[in-house]
Structure 1
Amino acid sequence: MSKSKKKLFFYSKSVAFIIWIMAIADLVCDYYFWATQKEQMLYGIIENIDPTLLDKSIELSSISVILLMLLTHIPVLISSISLFFVGYFFFEASKGEIWTQRNIKTLFIGGILAVITPIVNGMLGSLTSLALSISLPPGERIFVFYLGFSLNAMREIIYGIMILSLALIMKEAKKISDENQQYI
């Protein structure tokens, strides 16, 4: 194995494992916080939706709690799956399969998931208010429509666009390379 291939192998595998560790850490931390600090997590969600509800001692039904847990976990799951795909791209690159159609598609899927994560997060924010409303008495139920992005969401979208751009550039470069090989 040449020195360049060894470097490619080492760098690509290292990046893949780091990305996969990040994806697993996100999932584990989210689960850990819900398992150990459920009250604080629920407090934060209620405060984010309507801080005045904290003054009223509302009793959340178990269906509300389960829905709130699921709705806040979905964006973390999508983001982690995105990281898994990007990590898989680098894992395949460590085998020397950088310019394969499958590897380019893997990177493209990771980019799409990274772009939609903050969008899904916003939509789920609206559903979170409905899940909370299940536990509120009639007449006090709320619906909060989320529109707009935070700086964190913009960063995730830009990250996803960069990954998508890289995948599209690789796709076009592969087409050019394939065309050039036909002439030779």
Structure 2
Amino acid sequence: MKQPITDQKQHSSTRLSLVGKGTAILAWGLGIVYTVGELYMWFNHGTIMLQGILQAFSDSQPLLAEPSFQLSKMAIALLFILNFLPIIVTSVVWLLAGLFFLRLSRNELWTARNFKLLWAAGILNILSPFLYQLSWTGQSLAISLDLPPGERIFVFSLGLSTNSVYDVVVGIILCAFAWMIRESTKIHQENELYI
């Protein structure tokens, strides 16, 4: 009679392992595609990327829309770095999520390591919309390096879009789940002391 319970437990463990590993691969794949896709766009279509950035800022400074305006290599490098930084943070969130699911696949459920991992992913997800806005401000300053004195621009915005609010809410949910893991671990440890 005990054999079917063991088989059922083994079957559940196998399913958890497969789903966890599959989800980890999916999360890592998303992070890689997001990063590689951005790199591909910059290295193969850099002119289009730069034109898009200049066009976005041309409302503040019409000089940027003129065909004769050229960016220096320093400004282009800064634009690349500032544009890529939020992408890296988002990819790190996907990396951490994948690591969490990999640990679940190995039957590591309620541990302090998983709490720290999800907490970090949640905080990064909460900060990512603000990082995009700071990146935007930094890009305006990078472009200003090549503008004549008196024509320079400074664009600052903390406006949140629907996608930004979504990212913040997902980050809060990740932090709440991490907190639940930590509290469950404490309760489990207290129960073991009484037994």
The two structures have a TM-score, normalised by structure 1, of 0.96
Structure 1 counterpart of 2:178: 167
Deviation readout 1:32-62 (Å, 9 max, x if unpaired)? 0001111111111112223422136311000
Structure 2 counterpart of 1:94: 105
Spell out the pairing of 1:3-152 with structure 2 (5 A cutoff).
3-51=11-59, 52=62, 53-55=64-66, 57-152=68-163
Note the C-alpha offset of 1:19.
0.1
Note the C-alpha offset of 1:120.
1.1
Q: 2:30 is aligned with what amino acid?
A: M
Question: Unaligned 5+ residue runs, structure 1?
Answer: none
Q: 1:95 is aligned with what amino acid?
A: R
Q: In 1, Cα distance between the equivalents of 2:67 and 2:37? A: 30
Q: 2:87 is aligned with what amino acid?
A: V
Q: In 2, Cα distance between the equivalents of 1:127 and 1:179? A: 49
Q: In 2, Cα distance between the equivalents of 1:29 and 1:163? A: 26
Deviation readout 1:108-144 (Å, 9 max, x if unpaired)? 1111111111111111111110000111111111111
Note the C-alpha offset of 1:174.
1.2
Structure 1 counterpart of 2:10: 2
Deviation readout 1:89-108 (Å, 9 max, x if unpaired)? 11011110111111221111
Give the share of equivalent positions with the same residue, in percent: 35
Question: Unaligned 5+ residue runs, structure 2?
Answer: 1-8
The two structures have a TM-score, normalised by structure 2, of 0.90
Q: 1:83 is aligned with what amino acid?
A: W
Matched-pair contact (CA < 8 Å) for 2:24–2:101: yes
Matched-pair contact (CA < 8 Å) for 2:111–2:181: no
Give the alignment's Cα RMSD to 1 decimal. Answer: 1.2
